Chains A and B, each alone.
Chain A
């Protein structure tokens, strides 16, 4: 039982309120670990709140969240990435600087080669010296997602992706699928919110809110 708990992510009897609105009450979910979990639901059903709660940005009112056994909060913060729906890149910096500083803040290697490689894979290498304020939302999204394509990102336990397919073109979607499959093959867990009907991945679990 303990070994099963160790690599599992389970929500037990969770309730969450924001302001006066009750978002969840007595929610029980067992996620597929390792594997792809697709969270579906209508607008305002609390998909983003669920991801933020798992990522400790929101505090649950009652219930327990088991994050890969009893990981300490600081360890958990170092073991996952949350990519939010709207971009979290600084407008005053270029794309390359944004990614470099982001890697630095995580305490990772500051090598610019790997950033260039990651941007090249997404096909936005030519925009690397553009200020973020000059870029379109698709390029911003790709720059944001190229955080997932570093060697260190594949060694993490979990990716939380909030609608990663928004603003992406076909090539971007294909490459995102490729790195998501690679991560799952390396025993990673992905929690993804999505409105897409067609899902190309082999092994996945759909969670309806």
Chain B
């Protein structure tokens, strides 16, 4: 029988797109959580502009990361319960490629809209424009890395009952390189050094994850399905 690979891609993207569109409360959760953190931080630091400029960049980053992590371990869980992961397994397209597409769609529909909010929050926290610009670039690249790490952790915890305990513990250590190189870029810009070396390292980490993550995820999904 003739297999049309274009149709597989169309179907996959259509399914992901519609699922995200209909569960928009997930996205709203992230935004509300993020706004809460960013509003609460200046209140607790106190009315000193010096202190705030010292920590403002960190606040934006922490707010973004903390609000994303709870959604990362839910990439596969609903598909696993619905039996769609099995349908992916039966598809003629390699499971690794399907996972890669799923991660990209997740990144595109949940994380990229968040980057719109970075300039807004950064203005609220009095962050200079040059750093806002770099923050957006780093976040766009780094969040792809987060999604790929999330994919590994989400697939590893598919069979277990209490996923929300294990996933953050798995995600945080793996995410440290992204934190370090991401912050390195901003620190370099602040002190007038060349930010590119750190940016290249950040891209390297993401490229390595791009290769490793689908392989590990596909392997652990197959284990979860055939258990």
Contact = CB atoms under 8 A, between A and B. Distances in A.
Interface of A: 56-59, 74, 77-78, 82, 84, 86-93, 97, 100-110, 152, 155-156
Given A92-B22, A93-B18, A107 B5 contact: yes
B128 to A, nearest CB: 42
A90 B82 contact: yes
B83 A101 contact: no
Contacts of B96: none
Interface size class of B (residues with CB under 8 A): 20 to 34
User: Interface residues of A: mostly helix, strand, loop or mixed?
Assistant: loop
B64 to A, nearest CB: 26
B10 A89 contact: no
A77 B3 CA distance: 13
B6 to A, nearest CB: 9
A100 B4 contact: no
Contacts of A88: 82-84, 86-87
A110 B91 contact: no
Contact of B12 (A86, A100, A104, A155): A104
Nearest to A58: B226
Interface of B: 1, 3-5, 7-8, 10-12, 14-15, 18-19, 22-23, 78-79, 82-84, 86-93, 225-226
Given A105-B90, A106-B8, A109-B7, 7 more contacts: A57-B225, A77-B89, A88-B87, A90-B78, A92-B19, A93-B22, A100-B14
B19 A107 contact: no
B82 A78 contact: no
A110 B5 CA distance: 12
B118 to A, nearest CB: 29
Contact of A92 (B7, B11, B12, B23): B23
A104 B7 contact: yes
A110 B82 contact: no
User: Interface residues of B: mostly helix, strand, loop or mixed?
Assistant: helix
Nearest to B5: A107
25 contacts: A57-B225, A77-B92, A78-B1, A82-B86, A84-B86, A89-B83, A90-B15, A90-B19, A92-B23, A97-B18, A101-B15, A102-B87, A104-B8, A104-B12, A104-B14, A106-B3, A106-B8, A106-B90, A106-B91, A107-B3, A107-B7, A107-B8, A107-B91, A152-B1, A156-B1
Given A77-B92, A92-B18, A155 B10 contact: no
B87 A59 contact: no
Nearest to B2: A107
Contacts of A57: 86, 89, 225-226
Given A84-B83, A88-B82, A107-B5, A77 B12 contact: no
A92 B19 CA distance: 6
B83 A86 contact: yes
A105 B11 contact: yes
B8 A87 contact: no
Contacts of B93: 105, 107
Contact of B91 (A105, A109, A156): A105
A106 B98 CA distance: 13
B23 A105 contact: no
